[in-house]
Amino acid sequence: MNEKAQTEKIKNTPLPAFQKSLIPDNTQSDLPEMRKPIYVTQPALPPMNEFIKYIEEIWENKQLTNNGRFHQQLEKELCDYLGIKYISLFSNGTLALITALQTLNIAGEVITTPFSFVATTHSLWWNNIKPVFVDIEPRTFNLNPDKIEAAITPKTTAILPVHVYGNPCNVKRIGEIADTYGLKVIYDACHTFGVKINDVPILNFGDLSVMSFHATKVYSTFEGGAIVCHDEKTKRRIDLLKNFGFAGETTVIAHGINAKMNEFQSAVGLLQLKYIKELIKKRKHISDYYRKQLAGFKELVPDALPDVVSCYSYFPIIINENNLGITRDEVYYALKQFNIFTRRYFFPLISNFPAYASLASSAPDNLPEAEKISRQILCLPIYPNLKPGEIDFIIECLLKIIVKK
């Protein structure tokens, strides 16, 4: 059934009336609030009165962009917080991805995942690089290392995996493959902030990691991003590339672009950093609560990964029609009727977008796990200011939809 027909079918299916009695007592007073839309995410903004002080300073000293005071301070504070040596701030994650590929002179073919936000693959296209899609692992939703070697050709120069939902990729295996074949590794770390594996920051793996500080992310500078690297020389090259390729006032030595983070964004970032630990703690609390309440449903909530310090950026669930007797899209549309706007990150797969569907590696037969997961995945709302009553409401609605009564 196509999406339009499916929408119609669901629209015409009466939903069971929402039973007030199922809501725990302490949330009864929140009920009118619950009719307000609940989105998959909502930015957690720092107190405005604190931000005004930063704005006043910007107005006072007139340095608006181009490596200003706040920009420099934020790079330093992020390095300290994230446990990394070098970071270069960007105006957004997409330009950071494009520049990361330029930094290492990546060309030819790059192995990547179809299960991501489209910007991951677009960054290759903008560099005239051919994306080669490889299937994902069922547990982490990340590039499957077992499938990488078969996709390597003489034209392959790099691997571009994504730590999807902040789940660390199998960095050990990917690193070994890259070493064996002489490939570079650039991690799309746009869903991670402070994520660690075995106590090691995930950003320390690979040649480069790229972050996004978009409004929808755990840590946000409204729009923003960064490249993380491991030595000063590479940091200098990245800084040069994001500033038109200028080396000094009158010399351009590379084909750079304008991808700088401005002082306003940097100031938001400095302020956000003051609150980030508390914000991630609140996300953890919500994630734990969802897990507890949904524990009775087989395979609904993917297992938490061992040895990982998470940032709880998304809360994905798997709607397996064979287990639950209902499709993911039926659940998605039914929740919408309760004003709950979940997201199907990532559906369709990048390989199924018309812009990429004609590539040989986009064939669904080549990507069976990704094809399956993209039809089953649903990301529930998770953000620090999600109220307890709202979380209960989401759980109640979800259970009402998936439990045949």
Which of these segments, 6-14, 41-49, 245-253, 386-394, binds ligand T4K (CB under 6 A)? 41-49
CA distances from 335 to 2, 19, 341, 379, 394 (A): 19, 15, 7, 12, 8
Which is closer to ligand T4K, CB of 41 or CB of 170?
41
By CB neighbour count within 10 A (0-12 exposed, 13-18 middle, 19+ buried), where does 162 fall? buried
339 binds ligand T4K (CB under 6 A): no
In this structure, the number of other CB atoms found within 10 A of the CB of residue 5 comes to 9
Provide the minimum distance between the beta carbon of 250 and ligand T4K in the complex, in angstroms, as a whole number: 32
Which is closer to ligand T4K, CB of 42 or CB of 127?
42
Provide the minimum distance between the beta carbon of 249 and ligand T4K in the complex, in angstroms, as a whole number: 30
Provide the minimum distance between the beta carbon of 122 and ligand T4K in the complex, in angstroms, as a whole number: 9
339: left (phi over 0), alpha (psi -120 to 50) or beta: left
In this structure, the number of other CB atoms found within 10 A of the CB of residue 303 comes to 8
CA angle (284 as vertex; 278, 286 as ends), nearest 5: 110
Alpha-carbon torsion 292, 310, 267, 215, what sign? negative
142 binds ligand T4K (CB under 6 A): no
117 binds ligand T4K (CB under 6 A): yes
46 binds ligand T4K (CB under 6 A): no
Strands 340-341 and 38-39, sheet pairing: parallel
- Both structure tokens of 377: 């995945």
Which is closer to ligand T4K, CB of 93 or CB of 201?
93
Residues 178-217 interacting with ligand T4K (rule: CB under 6 A): 188, 190-191, 212, 214-216
Residue facing ligand T4K at closest CB distance: 93
Site for ligand T4K (CB under 6 A): how many residues?
24
73 binds ligand T4K (CB under 6 A): no
Answer for the pair 207, 184: CB distance below 8 angstroms, yes or no.
Answer: yes
390 binds ligand T4K (CB under 6 A): no
Letter for the amino acid at 396? E
Strands 196-197 and 308-309, sheet pairing: antiparallel
Taking CB under 6 A as the criterion, the residue among 27, 41, 99, 243 binding ligand T4K is 41
Spatial separation of the C-alpha atoms in residues 304 and 340, rounded to whole Å: 24
Which is closer to ligand T4K, CB of 54 or CB of 117?
117
94 binds ligand T4K (CB under 6 A): yes
Taking CB under 6 A as the criterion, the residue among 297, 333, 345, 356 binding ligand T4K is 345
The contact set with ligand T4K (CB under 6 A) reads 39-43, 92-94, 116-117, 119-120, 162, 188, 190-191, 212, 214-216, 225, 341, 343, 345
